[in-house]
């Protein structure tokens, strides 16, 4: 039995979807354990191009079973659409995708409240995906959530009544329109009936798997620095993103999570508000144009910056990363010079990321190293030896500062555009 967690070592969108897709082949179970459909994981393989929000990205491997753990929050319509999309693409998911009845549901009022909170914060807004993530997790931990299991008794209606009484008061006070109990009840009953064949307690499945030499691949959503506790609070997401969350979110004892793959983009991106120490602001610059990306979930433009190795090193320490998967190395091709942040200083002294809060990060001095770039297109390289010396040096430098070996290198978005070492 092996349990491998795949985590993003930056602010999300590191390329976890692609990594999970190519790692899934030798797995029995592929699982999501945190977050919700704020995630957007891109997978490009023989089945086509997909932006996946809830189903584990490893579902394309024929022998895998997909699990959506109780730590995940679910917008039922998004899950229904995703299942339909996968079935249409020839990825049969029936009988091999299971959703925990403990997972909490994103209700219409969560999405409305997410938007209202953001607007109230004005310039200080978090820049959420407006998928209702903050409000649904707030309800979860304040005992106000609604779960699939509530549909097996009259709990669903009882709990919905209470929540609508409370939530409608807030919505109306803030200028919104009250939700009707019957409408929400009927819509969500409909969702439940459609998704019922996929809902199943995962406890025995997972425990039996752990005892019978099965291989598990755990797919984190978001990144280390969007973690509620360790991220750049309050510019974070509402769930724990480090592998510790996989334990609670799936019911896997921490001692089993022995392999942790840190997916690291060769530069840095961030969507939404909050600090990005190495940010490149010059929108006309060559690097800005090269690094630019469109967010998979919201279609927003991602902010960009140079690689920040203090950030990656912190993620390695926090999550016990055993191996790194470096992505998007191909994007750096063609630059004359590449800059990398290798440390933070405050008042002339070396400090760690954790020594300052999110607002303090804007005031730290960044220690940069400059590297000579390479001009060759590396997207066809499939072995480390085929890379130009400058690219090899860049990879070695990452290993040295981050403190973990780079085992995979992405040289393109497709599944096979990967160097294995």
Considering only residues 238, 252, 321, 361, which one is a binding residue for ligand IMO as defined by CB under 6 A? Answer: 238
Number of residues that bind Mg ion (CB under 5 A): 3
Show contacts with ligand GDP in window 20-59 (CB under 6 A): 40-42, 44
Residues 200-229: x where in contact with ligand IMO by CB under 6 A, - otherwise, as a string: ---------------------xxx--x---
Considering only residues 5, 6, 7, 13, which one is a binding residue for Mg ion as defined by CB under 5 A? Answer: 13
Q: 412 is in the binding site of which of Mg ion, ligand IMO, ligand GDP, none (Cβ under 5 to 8 A by kind)?
A: ligand GDP
C-beta closer to ligand IMO: residue 194 or 300: 300
* 139 within 8 A of 110, measured Cβ to Cβ: yes
Considering only residues 239, 240, 247, 327, which one is a binding residue for ligand GDP as defined by CB under 6 A? Answer: 327
Contact status: 328 vs ligand GDP (CB under 6 A): yes
Number of residues that bind ligand IMO (CB under 6 A): 23
Report residue 98: phi and psi, to 5°: -125, 135
- Per CB under 5 A, the segment of 33-41, 234-242, 249-257, 358-366 that binds Mg ion is 33-41
Show contacts with ligand IMO in window 130-169 (CB under 6 A): 131, 133-134
* 8 within 8 A of 220, measured Cβ to Cβ: yes
Q: 108 is in the binding site of which of Mg ion, ligand GDP, ligand IMO, none (Cβ under 5 to 8 A by kind)?
A: none
Q: 268 is in the binding site of which of Mg ion, ligand GDP, ligand IMO, none (Cβ under 5 to 8 A by kind)?
A: none
Q: Provide CB contacts within 8 A for 291, sequence distance 6+.
A: 267, 269, 280, 304, 305, 331
Nearest to 164 by CA among 120, 119, 112: 112
Cα 41 to Cα 56, 57, 206: the distances in Å are 9, 7, 24
Alpha carbon distance 268, 288 (integer Å): 11
Nearest to 237 by CA among 79, 146, 130: 130
Contact status: 331 vs ligand GDP (CB under 6 A): yes
Show contacts with ligand IMO in window 30-59 (CB under 6 A): 38-41
Alpha carbon distance 70, 73 (integer Å): 8
Contact status: 272 vs ligand GDP (CB under 6 A): no
Q: 271 is in the binding site of which of Mg ion, ligand GDP, ligand IMO, none (Cβ under 5 to 8 A by kind)?
A: ligand IMO
* 324 within 8 A of 401, measured Cβ to Cβ: no
Angle subtended by helix axes 108-121 and 133-141, to nearest 10: 110
In the complex, the smallest distance separating the C-beta of residue 35 from ligand IMO, rounded to whole angstroms, is: 6
In the complex, the smallest distance separating the C-beta of residue 168 from ligand GDP, rounded to whole angstroms, is: 34
In the complex, the smallest distance separating the C-beta of residue 49 from ligand GDP, rounded to whole angstroms, is: 8
Show contacts with ligand GDP in window 144-173 (CB under 6 A): none
- 404 by Cβ neighbours in 10 Å (0-12 / 13-18 / 19+) ranks as buried
Q: 28 is in the binding site of which of ligand GDP, ligand IMO, Mg ion, none (Cβ under 5 to 8 A by kind)?
A: none
| In 107-235, alpha helices (H) | 108-121, 133-141, 155-173, 181-195, 203-211
Q: In 222-232, which positions are buried (b, 16+ CB within 10 angstroms) versus exposed (e)?
A: bbbbbbbebbb
Alpha carbon distance 186, 192 (integer Å): 10
Contact status: 12 vs ligand IMO (CB under 6 A): yes
Cα 381 to Cα 90, 290, 344, 384: the distances in Å are 30, 20, 34, 8
Q: 222 is in the binding site of which of ligand GDP, ligand IMO, Mg ion, none (Cβ under 5 to 8 A by kind)?
A: ligand IMO
155: left (phi over 0), alpha (psi -120 to 50) or beta: alpha
C-beta closer to ligand IMO: residue 20 or 387: 20
Report residue 407: phi and psi, to 5°: -100, -25
In the complex, the smallest distance separating the C-beta of residue 70 from ligand GDP, rounded to whole angstroms, is: 22
Contact status: 14 vs ligand GDP (CB under 6 A): yes
Element (H, E) at 365: strand 365-372
Contact status: 296 vs Mg ion (CB under 5 A): yes
The reply to whether 41 belongs to the active site is yes
Maximum distance among all alpha carbons in the chain? Answer: 66
The reply to whether 53 belongs to the active site is no
In the complex, the smallest distance separating the C-beta of residue 178 from ligand IMO, rounded to whole angstroms, is: 24
C-beta closer to ligand GDP: residue 11 or 98: 11
Name the residues annotated as catalytic: 13, 41
Q: Where on the chain is the footprint of ligand GDP (CB under 6 A)?
A: 8, 12-18, 40-42, 44, 296, 327-328, 330-331, 410-413
Q: Where on the chain is the footprint of ligand IMO (CB under 6 A)?
A: 8, 12-13, 38-41, 126-129, 131, 133-134, 221-223, 226, 237-238, 271-272, 296
């Amino acid at each position: 039995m092996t349990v491998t967690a795949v985590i993003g070592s930056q602010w999300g969108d590191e390329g976890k979807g692609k990594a999970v897709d190519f790692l899934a082949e030798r797995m029995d179970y592929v699982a999501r354990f945190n977050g919700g459909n704020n995630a957007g994981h891109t997978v490009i393989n023989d089945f086509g191009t997909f932006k996946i929000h809830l189903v584990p990205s490893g579902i394309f491997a024929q022998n895998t079973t997909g699990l959506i753990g109780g730590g995940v929050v679910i917008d039922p319509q998004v899950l229904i659409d995703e299942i339909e999309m996968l079935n249409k693409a020839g990825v049969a998911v029936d009988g091999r995708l299971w959703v925990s009845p403990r997972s909490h549901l994103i209700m219409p009022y969560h999405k409305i409240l997410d938007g209202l909170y953001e607007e109230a914060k004005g310039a200080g807004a978090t820049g959420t995906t407006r998928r209702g993530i903050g409000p649904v997790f707030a309800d979860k931990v304040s005992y106000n959530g609604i779960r699939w299991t509530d549909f097996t008794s009259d709990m669903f209606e009882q709990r919905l009544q209470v929540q609508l009484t409370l939530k409608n008061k807030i919505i109306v006070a803030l200028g919104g329109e009250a939700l009707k109990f019957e409408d929400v009840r009927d819509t969500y009953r409909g969702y439940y009936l459609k998704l019922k064949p996929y809902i199943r307690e995962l406890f025995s499945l997972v425990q039996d798997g752990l005892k019978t030499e099965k291989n598990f691949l755990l797919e984190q959503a978001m990144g280390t620095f969007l973690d509620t506790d360790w991220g750049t609070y309050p510019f974070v997401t509402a769930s724990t993103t480090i592998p510790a969350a996989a334990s609670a979110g799936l019911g896997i004892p921490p001692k089993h999570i022995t392999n942790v793959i840190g997916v690291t983009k060769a530069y840095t991106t961030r969507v939404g508000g909050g600090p990005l120490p190495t940010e490149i602001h010059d929108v006309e610059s060559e690097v800005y144009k090269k690094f630019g990306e469109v967010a998979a979930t919201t279609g927003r433009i991602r902010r960009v910056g140079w690689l920040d190795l203090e950030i990656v090193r912190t993620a390695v320490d926090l999550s016990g990363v055993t191996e790194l998967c470096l992505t998007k190395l191909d994007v750096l091709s063609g630059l004359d010079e590449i800059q990398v942040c290798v440390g933070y200083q405050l008042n002339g002294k070396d400090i760690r990321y954790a020594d300052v809060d999110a607002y303090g990060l804007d005031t730290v001095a960044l220690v940069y190293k400059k590297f000579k770039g390479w001009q060759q297109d590396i997207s066809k390289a499939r072995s480390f030896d085929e890379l130009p010396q400058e690219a090899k040096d860049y990879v070695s430098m990452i290993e040295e500062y981050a403190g973990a070996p780079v085992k995979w290198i992405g040289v393109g978005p497709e599944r096979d555009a990967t160097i294995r070492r």
